[in-house]
Amino acid sequence: MPSPLKRLNALVQDAFEASGHDRRHGQVVPSARPDLCQFQCNGAMPAAKGKGTPPRAVAEGVAALLRASGAFASVEVAGPGFINLVCSDPWLGERAREALTEGRLGVPVSEDGPVLLDFGGPNVAKPLHVGHLRSAIIGDCLQRLHRFLLDDRGPGWRGRGRVVSDIHLGDWGTQMGMLIEAVREAQPALPYFDPAFSGPYPGTSPVELSDLEAMYPAMSARCKDDPAAAERARAATRELQSGRAGYRALWRHFVDVSIAAIRSDFAVLGVSWDLWLGESDSQASIPDMLRDLESRGVSAVSEGATVIHLGPAGEGDGPPPLLLVKSDGGYLYGTTDLATLRQRASQGFARILYVADRRQSLHFSQVLAGAAKAGYLRASGRDVRAEHVAFGTVNGKDGKPYKTREGGVMRLGALLSEALDKAQDRLNSGGMAVDLGVEERARVARQVAVAAVKFADLANPRTSDYVFDLEKFMLFEGRTGPYLLYAAVRMKSILRKAEERGFRPGRLGDPAPQERDLFLRLLSLPEALERASEGSAPNLLCDWAYDLSGAFSTFYQGTNILREVDAHRRGHWLALTQATLRALELVLGLLGLEIPERM
């Protein structure tokens, strides 16, 4: 079912064509001046070029046909040929009854898939901190959005899902060698370090995550000052990557205890992944990739290293070369990421999104350019759209990256705990949720805390930095997550009270003057989701949800739904409230916000 805006486009395009002009000039957009009209078309000017006809005359001819269509309350020509459109209330009502009473609220199923989202990217043995917040929140929102647009009802992967998310753990490299060496020094008698041990190795990890978190920075600092320690760590890394059984078993413990903690921390935010793959999972494919690149002349040797020159005329132009193999034979992040991208493209993904800090822009530009030059972005006869979805940093009020009061890096768990405390304080000071039981009140506080943090992050254009200010984020008025939760809870309350009185939603009628803006907001949902998907822009969803809540508030203030004695009018208003709640629930769900039943 085409969206209302697409229906308008078809009407206006037909009118341009019937007037003897190219139908592509009949593009309709929401009006930049809603006080003058609802929609506008500016195609008369380009349509008149080269024809010797004044643009206004072209617009008048098109307008005459549109007036006869019955879809518009008014069609006016302004200025040199702008066509201003106001839809008729019956036309809006019919479109609303088509869209808002079906399961997807008029949003068509997209064919732009399957989609792979790479986000999160924490490192093994390192605690999650505030720097991991944005990738997880933005990436999760985008996976929810794509799942809805692609109508992905499968379990994710396993050959059925059309949207797949991968956390892409940092689980390889010299860091792992450092940890192996640190454990060896602390517990040298463990069987992992005995070359003669034939197994089986212990099933329980000899270290906890807290041990690893302490060991890594200490060993990293030692390696900077002690060349012998650094060489032992590099040797351990080489043996791990060469497949030494004891080191692989110990490394597996590192990964497992880290994943358990990562799952727990991100579960508080309601974020999860289909795949828990890491850099290590691409290692086996790297030698074959390097042979392929060399055999086709895509890679070259430069000063003993293997690179892909990315400029159009060799080394002198374009971005720096993508370094694949160091002169000592070691691989780099670029090697791993290129091999991973090659694998993903070969699996049939049409779109691959890397949700990562904008400070990694050069890295991703090199990897994506290298993949394009290697031909890896064309698979199964079609182009693969691979993109870096870059985002800015989370800052404190001083404009610098957000830290603890003591000046250290803020851990994610501590940040979320602070948000929960603030949410509980806000509920107490506002006299909210006072009639709820202890468990439900705690659940509401968690929902408010998560909504505040997520919405504050997603509401900003993702490439911008933003200031983390819990006092501001927790407000129940203004453009905040708690305000939108409260708006949805109020709609639930209206419908619940109506049901208690025996009132039921009726047939959705045509909009009255005070309802037109709410109808138009609801009918704009398909385009809002489409634009957010195309631009990987969750802030557009935030804008839409906030504007919808504002439109409903204006409508609600002009009515008295539960006291209305006219059953037909009351049923219409309840149907409109129900449709608004469904739309708001959908979009808040895509943002990852959970709505309480009452507050």
Q: CA-to-CA distance for 181 and 190, rounded, in angstroms?
A: 12
pTM to 2 decimal places: 0.93
| Domain end call among 268, 303, 335 | 268
Question: Which CATH number covers residue 76?
Answer: 3.30.1360.70
Is 35 within the bounds of a domain?
yes
| Cβ pair 180, 251 in contact under 8 A | yes
The residues, ordered by sequence, that sit 6+ positions from 590 with a Cβ below 8 Å of its Cβ are 141, 144, 145, 148, 529, 541
Q: Which two tokens stand for residue 497?
A: 């009270």
Q: Which two tokens stand for residue 265?
A: 């921390």
Q: Which two tokens stand for residue 302?
A: 């430069």
Element spanning 338, H or E? helix 333-346
| pLDDT values of the chain reduced to their tens digit, one per residue, 599 residues | 788 999 999 999 999 999 999 999 999 999 989 999 999 999 999 999 978 889 999 999 999 999 999 999 999 999 999 999 999 999 999 999 999 988 899 999 998 889 999 999 999 988 888 888 999 999 999 999 999 999 876 444 334 468 999 999 999 888 999 999 999 999 999 999 999 998 899 999 999 999 999 999 999 999 999 999 999 999 999 899 889 999 999 999 999 999 999 999 899 999 999 999 999 999 999 999 999 999 999 999 999 999 999 976 545 566 799 999 988 888 889 999 999 999 999 998 999 999 999 999 999 999 999 999 999 998 777 899 999 999 999 998 888 878 766 666 788 888 899 999 999 999 999 999 888 999 999 999 999 999 999 999 999 999 999 999 999 999 999 999 999 999 999 999 999 999 999 999 999 999 999 999 999 999 999 999 999 999 999 999 999 999 999 999 999 999 999 999 999 999 999 999 999 999 999 999 999 999 999 99
| Cβ pair 338, 332 in contact under 8 A | no
Is 76 within the bounds of a domain?
yes
The parent domain of residue 10 ranges over 4-87
The residues, ordered by sequence, that sit 6+ positions from 348 with a Cβ below 8 Å of its Cβ are 114, 379, 380
Q: Which DSSP string do the residues of 82-126 spell out, in sequence order?
A: EEEEEE-HHHHHHHHHHHHTSTTTTPPPP----EEEE---PBTTS
Element spanning 40, H or E? strand 39-41
- Angle between helical axes of 538-557 and 516-523 (0-180°, round to 10): 160
Is 65 within the bounds of a domain?
yes
Is 230 within the bounds of a domain?
yes
- DSSP E strands, 297-412: 300-302, 305-308, 322-325, 351-357, 378-379, 382-383, 385-391, 394-395
| Domain end call among 218, 235, 268 | 268
In terms of Cβ atoms closer than 10 Å to its own Cβ (0-12, 13-18, 19+), residue 303 is: exposed
Is 49 within the bounds of a domain?
yes
SS (H, E, C) 456-493: HHHCCCCCCCEECCHHHHCCCCCCCHHHHHHHHHHHHH
Is 183 within the bounds of a domain?
yes
| Domain end call among 231, 251, 268 | 268
Question: Cα dihedral angle (395, 398, 400, 401), rounded to 10 degrees?
Answer: -40
Q: CA-to-CA distance for 200 and 192, rounded, in angstroms?
A: 10
**111, 161, 222, 562 from 146: Cα distances, Å:** 10, 11, 45, 38
Q: CA-to-CA distance for 227 and 303, rounded, in angstroms?
A: 25
Is 39 within the bounds of a domain?
yes
* Total number of domains in the chain: 2
Is 237 within the bounds of a domain?
yes
Terminal C-alpha separation, the chain: 37
